[in-house]
């Protein structure tokens, strides 16, 4: 973006050297659908500037340099390439032909028993928009799921931009502090406070505006590796409030802890609040927060779902998973349980509180 202190950039060109200009013009115009913008000199053309598909190419006869690679995002790559995944221009430039809107790649289910602890030595990586990330499932269930502990140490404006994620499922739970976020067609920006949760349906545009000092959130998504796209044209908020709008078969959810209804949980001695994600995703995922409300009985549990994850929000417990040594866990620790492995929660503190995420929601 040009500023008052930098020169204004009006256009940009990719320079490709070539030997025979006519062959290159024929290839780019007839084969790829580019158009000539300029060509010179008239009596013996040596340079031609072509444009098409959002790209400007400057072809120079006799110029030095490597032929490079161009990537074309196509609605039908096979049709353009005649079944080939790439083409080669007369000068050697490789033209990669890829699907402009590829299907979401969901790796197969690959479960394992994972315990991750929060400690002084925990590794935090630098992520997008100045945020720190801690990986809660390092092996990421074979690439099918990702769970991240995200923090912004300093409060104030966040250098974010309007963006979206190509995902099957994604949620944000506020662990500590608060954050203000604007979402596409959901009215004015909303403040997510500790205990609150957003369901971010596929490709909903959003922007993080500001946060408190010491903000921490828990984010879960499927698949682990997904595309984050930037929308340079949309301004948020949009001025519209469409709470029932469908985004890839899901609805946006803003769960507020202070308005939650607590009900008995599946384990005796606990109660839970449902964050409304099961209904908004048509059963794809279910998210609850459970807390001790009586005397836990150490009941044995087992599941058969594709993903089950718990994060210890408050308090402490001992996790006993069949075939593994007991694990003493406290706030900030988390675990993923594979299907078919029985487990119990023992030595639960009176202030124990757990975030539970399951796919599907029927669990």
Question: What's 114-254's CATH class?
Answer: mainly beta
Nearest to 37 by CA among 58, 17, 68: 58
Q: Where are the alpha helices (DSSP H) in the chain?
A: 21-26, 77-81, 277-280
Task: Using alpha carbons, list the distances in angstroms from residue 301 to 230, 267, 275, 315, 342.
Answer: 42, 9, 22, 20, 5
**Rounded to whole angstroms, how far apart are CA atoms 231 and 281?**
24
Topology of the domain comprising 259-359:
Jelly Rolls (2.60.120)
Whole-prediction pTM: 0.86
Same CATH topology for 114-254 and 259-359? Answer: yes
What is the b/e burial string over 129-154, where b = at least 16 CB atoms within 10 angstroms of the residue's CB? eebebbbbbeebbebbbbbbbbbbee
Per-10-residue mean pLDDT for the chain, 363 residues long?
Answer: 60 93 96 95 94 94 90 91 93 93 92 91 73 91 96 89 96 98 98 98 97 96 94 96 97 97 97 98 98 95 97 98 96 97 98 98 80
* Residue reference for tokens 């959810």: 253
- The DSSP bridge partners found for residue 72 are 97
- The DSSP bridge partners found for residue 196 are none
Helix (H, G, I), strand (E, B) or coil at 175: strand
Helix (H, G, I), strand (E, B) or coil at 44: coil
Q: What is the total residue count of the chain? A: 363
pLDDT of residue 129: 62
Task: Using alpha carbons, list the distances in angstroms from residue 142 to 174, 251, 260, 312, 356.
Answer: 26, 27, 34, 23, 20
Number of other CB atoms surrounding residue 112 within 10 Å: 12
| For the chain, domain boundaries | 14-99, 114-254, 259-359
Helix (H, G, I), strand (E, B) or coil at 22: helix
Phi/psi of residue 210, nearest 5 degrees: -160, 165
**Rounded to whole angstroms, how far apart are CA atoms 292 and 299?**
14
Phi/psi of residue 30, nearest 5 degrees: -80, -35
* Cis peptide bond N-terminal to 360, omega within 30: yes
CATH 3.40.1440.60 fits domain 14-99: no
pLDDT of residue 3: 47
Nearest to 327 by CA among 141, 112, 114, 110: 114
Nearest to 197 by CA among 331, 51, 355, 91: 355
User: Are the C-beta atoms of 59 and 67 separated by less than 8 Å?
Assistant: no
* Cis peptide bond N-terminal to 41, omega within 30: yes
**Rounded to whole angstroms, how far apart are CA atoms 52 and 23?**
18
């Amino acid at each position: 973006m040009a500023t008052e202190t930098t020169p204004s950039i009006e256009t940009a060109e990719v320079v490709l050297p070539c030997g025979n200009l006519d062959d290159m013009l024929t290839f780019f115009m007839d084969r790829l659908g580019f158009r000539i913008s300029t060509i010179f000199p008239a009596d013996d053309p040596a340079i031609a500037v072509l444009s098409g598909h959002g790209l400007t190419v400057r072809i120079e006869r006799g110029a030095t340099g490597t032929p490079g690679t161009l990537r074309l995002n196509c609605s039908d790559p096979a049709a353009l390439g005649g079944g080939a995944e790439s083409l080669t221009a007369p000068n050697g430039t490789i033209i990669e032909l890829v699907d402009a809107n590829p299907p979401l790649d969901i790796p197969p289910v690959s479960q394992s028993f994972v315990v991750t602890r929060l400690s002084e030595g925990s590794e935090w990586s630098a992520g997008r928009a100045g945020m720190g990330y801690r990986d809660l499932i390092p092996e990421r269930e074979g690439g099918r799921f990702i769970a991240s502990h995200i923090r912004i140490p300093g409060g104030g404006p966040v250098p974010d931009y309007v963006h979206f994620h190509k995902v099957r499922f994604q949620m944000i739970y506020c662990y500590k502090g608060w954050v203000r976020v604007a979402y596409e067609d959901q009215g004015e920006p909303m403040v997510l406070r500790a205990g609150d949760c957003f369901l971010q349906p596929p490709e909903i545009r959003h922007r993080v505006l500001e946060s408190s000092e010491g903000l921490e959130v828990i984010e879960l998504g499927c698949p682990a590796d997904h595309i984050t796209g930037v929308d340079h044209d949309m301004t948020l908020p949009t001025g519209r409030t469409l709470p029932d709008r469908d985004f890839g078969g899901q609805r946006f959810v803003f769960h507020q802890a202070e308005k939650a209804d607590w009900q008995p949980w599946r384990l005796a001695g606990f109660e839970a609040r449902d964050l409304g994600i099961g209904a908004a995703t048509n059963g794809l995922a279910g998210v609850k927060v459970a807390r001790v409300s009586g005397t836990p009985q150490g009941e044995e549990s087992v599941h058969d779902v594709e993903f089950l994850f718990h994060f210890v929000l408050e308090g402490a417990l001992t996790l006993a998973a069949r075939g593994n040594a007991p694990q003493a866990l406290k706030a900030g620790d988390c675990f993923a349980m594979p299907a078919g492995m029985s487990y119990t929660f023992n030595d639960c503190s009176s202030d124990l509180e757990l975030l539970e995420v399951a796919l599907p929601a029927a669990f």
